[in-house]
């Protein structure tokens, strides 16, 4: 898969300081793209940037603070990006939290739905004017195998009526997939060339797998890396979605191996839970209401 057309392109990757986001960034950098690392932990991002620059001194890497669990941070980030960039080729909605104890974002949303979905929903809407004026632009949103069998519980989005961490993680990842599909649908309805895609990494050994507030113990990491694919492989569906010229928008990309857990990327089929157009439309409306971000599909802004 030729990636040379990334030369001169600009990409924003949320959560680019570790795991899949970091591995995808390395590919983009190697192929000549400029990357903005949109991260909460700027110190960790700087350390990764320094490591990359040591072996690739021509790399164009910028670090910008973004907290997806704080809508004021999302708005500030978007304004700073629009002041800095005339165009934006790629927005990679990668960052995420997985199965934390019950907690809320700064705006009062359940942490996984708020950070994984609503933060990225707002970010995409605020950056859409830049994307729409960029030829060949794409939005890639990361979902997960956890979307299978998940549902959007509109009566308990904040978890106040009960919270199960994995159930709410699945809900947030289903929301990511529904959003990616609905965004592409609306872009096409308006005759716009920007496309939206979803992808998932299979099961990868990334730092999403945390135990409480600490990293996995050493023996667990050894097992994880033996049975799960490394982050570099988990990042390939992201890269595939971002650069494959044959994709038309709306596709869902994941590993092609058994159970879509491991392997090289290919077009995958979402679970039936992701095929409900009424739920997709309702999720969109609720997301606009909760974030206060309304998408404008006009290229005149």
Residue showing tokens 């809407």: 125
List the structure tokens of 155.
Answer: 């009566």
- Give Cβ neighbours of residue 164 (< 8 Å, ≥ 6 apart): none
Interhelix angle 277-291/119-132, rounded to 10 degrees, is 90
Q: Tell me, yes or no, if 169 is annotated catalytic.
A: yes
- Give Cβ neighbours of residue 48 (< 8 Å, ≥ 6 apart): 16, 17, 18, 22, 37
Residue showing tokens 């609905």: 182
Pairing type for strands 210-211 and 214-215 reads antiparallel
Cβ distance 265 to 253 under 8 Å? yes
Among residues 102, 169, 240, 252, the one annotated as catalytic is: 169
**Positions marked active-site:** 169
């Amino acid at each position: 898969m030729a990636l040379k057309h990334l030369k001169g392109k600009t990409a924003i990757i949320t959560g680019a300081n570790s795991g899949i986001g970091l591995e995808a960034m390395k590919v983009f950098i190697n192929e000549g793209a400029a990357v903005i690392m949109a991260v909460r932990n700027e110190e960790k991002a700087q350390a990764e940037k320094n490591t990359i620059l040591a072996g690739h001194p021509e790399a164009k890497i910028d670090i910008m603070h973004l907290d997806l669990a704080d809508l004021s941070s999302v708005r500030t980030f978007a304004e700073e990006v629009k002041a800095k960039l005339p165009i934006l080729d790629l927005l990679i909605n990668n960052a995420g939290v997985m199965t934390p104890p019950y907690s809320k974002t700064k705006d009062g949303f359940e942490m996984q739905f708020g950070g994984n979905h609503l933060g990225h929903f707002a970010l995409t809407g605020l950056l859409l004017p830049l994307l729409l004026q960029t030829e060949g632009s794409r939005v890639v949103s990361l979902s997960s195998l956890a979307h299978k069998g998940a549902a959007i519980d509109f009566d308990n989005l904040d978890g106040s009526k009960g919270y199960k961490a994995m159930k709410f993680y699945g809900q947030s990842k289903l929301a990511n997939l529904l959003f990616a599909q609905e965004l592409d649908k609306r872009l096409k309805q308006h005759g716009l060339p920007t496309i939206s895609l979803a992808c998932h990494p299979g099961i990868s050994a990334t730092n999403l797998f945390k135990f409480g507030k600490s990293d996995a113990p050493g023996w667990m990491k050894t097992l994880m890396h033996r049975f799960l694919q490394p982050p570099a492989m988990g990042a390939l569906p992201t890269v595939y979605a971002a650069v494959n010229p044959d994709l038309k928008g709306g596709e869902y990309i994941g590993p092609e191996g058994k159970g879509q857990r491991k392997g090289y990327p290919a077009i995958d089929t979402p679970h039936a839970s992701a095929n409900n157009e009424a739920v997709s439309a309702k999720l969109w409306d609720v997301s606009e209401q909760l974030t206060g971000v309304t998408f404008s599909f006009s290229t005149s802004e």
